[in-house]
Amino acid sequence: MMFSKACEYGIRAAVYIALQSLEGRRVSVTEIAEEIDSPVAFTAKILQQLNRNKIVHSVKGPTGGFEIEREDMDSVKLNMIVKAIDGDQIYKGCGLGLKECNALQPCPLHDKFVDIRTNLKKMLQNTSLYELAMGLEVGLTYLKR
């Protein structure tokens, strides 16, 4: 609804990698896809994007896999992942589909829409991977059902 499927997988994958990195484990795409219940090859593509954007770190070869440095778990916020995968339509897009959102020639929904989008933006900017991984670790939240 709000994010593309690719973006949803990307966030779930990043949170899972963060959680495992906290335990000092590097994880493979196969394991990630298994644990977040996503298509393996598609997930691999998304992880490539996240790697290029320095959101996760990948290591090739045996004992390789994906990991996230402890300090990156704090500095990487959700908005970076969304931006890396879905681009900045979430920032620039008009709620009613006009070419771009523009306060000088606003669509009828502009004011109310901007209001909500601002909240969403703030939430994404303030939510770190670490924060999300913690809920998982404590067993309060789930990445699949």
Which residues are at the interface with DNA (CB under 7 A)? 4-6, 9, 27-30, 38-42, 44-45, 47-48, 51-52, 58-66
In whole angstroms, the minimum distance from the beta carbon of 11 to ligand FES comes to 11
Count CA within 13 A, CB hemisphere, residue 123: 8
Three-state DSSP string of 82-140: HHHHHCCHHHHCCCCCCCCCCCCCCCCCHHHHHHHHHHHHHHHHHCEHHHHHHHHHCCC
In whole angstroms, the minimum distance from the beta carbon of 108 to DNA comes to 19
For the window 90-129, what string marks contact with a second copy as x by the rule CB under 8 A?
Answer: x--x-xxxxx--x--xxxxxx-xx-xx--xx--x---x--
**C-alpha closest to that of 51 among 5, 7, 84, 86:** 84
In whole angstroms, the minimum distance from the beta carbon of 112 to DNA comes to 21
Q: In sequence order, which residues have a C-beta less than 8 Å from that of residue 52 and are 6 or more positions away?
A: none
**Residues paired with residue 65 on neighbouring β-strands, in sequence order:** 59
Using CB under 6 A, list all residues that contact ligand FES: 94-96, 98, 101-102, 106-107, 109-110, 113-114
Positions touching a second copy (CB under 8 A) are 1-3, 5, 8-9, 11-12, 15, 78, 89-90, 93, 95-99, 102, 105-110, 112-113, 115-116, 119-120, 123, 127, 132-133, 135-136, 140-145
